[in-house]
Amino acid sequence: MSDTTQKPGETSGASTVAPTGKTNVTKRGGGDPASRGRTTIADGVVEKIAGLAARDVVGVHAMGSGLSRTFGAVRDRVPGGTKSVSRGVKAEVGEVQTALDLEIVVEYGVSISDTTRAVRENVIAAVERMTGLEVVEVNIAVSDVKLPDEEEDEPESRLQ
């Protein structure tokens, strides 16, 4: 057996057998593996999460302005097109924080203040839980009220 001496704080990088008979393995790279590297989250990811969370709130009829909803309805009808869950949502994402702007249409008869409060709470909870980002603000613009006798904004299909 060779006699190797180490100075305090030095590591040999090798396994050693402790007096208890257990093997001690020296960690390499230092720190928790989860902290090695950086994670970036795209604005679109946060926008999708926020859009889905906002739509889950009772009283929210649609997201986005009338014009964006009309274009979205046309785009949704194109074969191979997908629904835009981020319509009406704009996110600014930093390294640890995010800010969101939402544009919603509420159902007639609901309390707008209660609905926007519920949207804000739901969006913040979903975004923070899924991304780990701190949501610093959620600005909500109510752009329209869906009346009970109004028809949907989607254009009629010419196909029968």
- 82-102 pLDDT, tens digit per residue, is 558 899 999 999 999 999 999
Which residues lie closer than 8 Å to 34 by C-beta, 6 or more apart? none
Nearest to 40 by CA among 91, 86, 96: 96
Task: Output 53 or 10, whichever has higher pLDDT.
Answer: 53
Q: What percent of the chain has pLDDT over 90?
A: 54
Q: Tell me the pLDDT of the chain averaged across its residues.
A: 80
For position 130, what pLDDT does the model report?
98
For position 156, what pLDDT does the model report?
46
For position 137, what pLDDT does the model report?
98
Q: Could you tell me the pLDDT band of residue 69, with boundaries at 50, 70 and 90?
A: very low
Structure tokens at 101: 């702007």
Residue 16 has pLDDT above 60, yes or no: no
Task: Output 15 or 143, whichever has higher pLDDT.
Answer: 143
Task: Output 102 or 76, whichever has higher pLDDT.
Answer: 102
Asked if 57 contacts 107 with a C-beta cutoff of 8 angstroms, the reply is no
For position 53, what pLDDT does the model report?
98
Which residues lie closer than 8 Å to 37 by C-beta, 6 or more apart? none
HEC per residue, the chain: CCCCCCCCCCCCCCCEECCCCCEECCCCCCCCHHHCCCCCCCHHHHHHHHHHHHHCCCCEEEECCHHHHHHHHHHHHCCCCCCCCCCCEEEEECCCEEEEEEEEEEECCCCHHHHHHHHHHHHHHHHHHHHCCEEEEEEEEEEEEECCCCCCCCCCCCCC
β-bridge pairing 134-146 and 97-107: parallel
pLDDT in tens, 31-56: 788 778 888 999 999 999 999 999 99
